[in-house]
């Protein structure tokens, strides 16, 4: 008998995607437990520990119950659990449009090619900038996305420089600039982007505007 495939899960819920290129689309979120990072603006610290051990089959069965085309695997940091790779592939093979939200400190090698990756490159304002695994940039597909959470003008300038240094426009179709909630004015960030003519997408967290950042929404 094969060994059960088990992941630690914080929550599974149905909501509107609040970020990235599928923002506004009904999506099932699988939030896995655990994260090696401690970004100062983190809004999901409740997923750092705890959670419930669940078999991959059981997770997929719950996802199926929502009758929803889109699935996002998030955290915490989902790649902190090696069996996340199996979950992602199983979801893709079940016909879902699958995305992965990752903090960029762990390799994205061996992720199923059918998964759309949202890679968060940590800015200096996150206090975890030195944890970025830049080898991941070379593994990105055009259909993936790179996100920068902007806490200040310093973060904005740093992110501009990284886009050029890493030649990100040649690697992905979407680069996201997201203002850190309660730290960076979205209007000011929009003006900086327009003034510099940056080819990025300003990303506002839709779920926070609708539900005021309630967990599980």
Q: Is residue 1 part of a domain?
A: no
> For 68-84, how does the pLDDT look when each residue is reduced to its tens digit (9 = 90+)?
999 999 999 999 999 99
Q: Is residue 49 part of a domain?
A: yes
Q: Is residue 216 part of a domain?
A: no
CB 147 within 8 A of CB 176: yes
Range of the domain at 117: 6-211
Q: Is residue 217 part of a domain?
A: no
| Percent of the chain surpassing pLDDT 70 | 97
Q: Is residue 57 part of a domain?
A: yes
Q: Is residue 54 part of a domain?
A: yes
Q: Which helix (H) or strand (E) holds 106?
A: none
Instruction: Find the CATH number of the domain harbouring 26.
Output: 3.20.20.70
> For 115-154, how does the pLDDT look when each residue is reduced to its tens digit (9 = 90+)?
999 999 999 999 999 999 999 999 999 999 999 999 999 9
For the stretch 164-188, what's the b/e string if a residue is b when 16 or more beta carbons lie within 10 angstroms of its beta carbon?
eebebeebbebbbbbbbeeebebee
Q: Is residue 50 part of a domain?
A: yes
pLDDT at 165 over 80: yes
pTM for the whole structure: 0.94
Domain count, the chain: 1
């Amino acid at each position: 008998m094969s060994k059960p495939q088990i992941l630690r899960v914080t929550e599974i819920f149905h909501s509107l995607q609040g970020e990235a290129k599928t923002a506004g689309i009904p999506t099932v979120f699988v939030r896995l437990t655990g994260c090696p990072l401690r970004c100062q603006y983190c809004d999901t610290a409740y997923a750092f520990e705890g959670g419930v051990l669940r078999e991959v089959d059981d997770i997929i069965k719950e996802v199926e119950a929502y009758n929803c085309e889109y699935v996002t695997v998030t955290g915490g940091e989902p790649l902190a659990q090696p069996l996340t790779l199996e979950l992602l592939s199983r979801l893709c093979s079940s016909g879902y449009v699958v995305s992965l939200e990752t903090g960029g400190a762990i390799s994205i090698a061996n992720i199923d090619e059918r998964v759309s990756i949202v890679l968060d490159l940590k800015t200096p304002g996150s206090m975890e900038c030195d944890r970025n695994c830049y080898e991941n940039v070379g593994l990105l597909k055009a259909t993936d996305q790179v996100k920068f959470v902007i806490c200040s003008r310093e973060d904005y300038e740093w992110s501009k420089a990284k886009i050029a240094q890493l030649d990100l426009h040649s690697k992905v179709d979407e680069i996201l600039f997201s203002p850190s909630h309660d730290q960076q004015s979205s209007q000011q960030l929009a003006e900086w982007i327009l003034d510099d003519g940056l080819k990025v997408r300003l990303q506002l967290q839709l779920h926070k505007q609708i539900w005021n950042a309630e967990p599980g929404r």
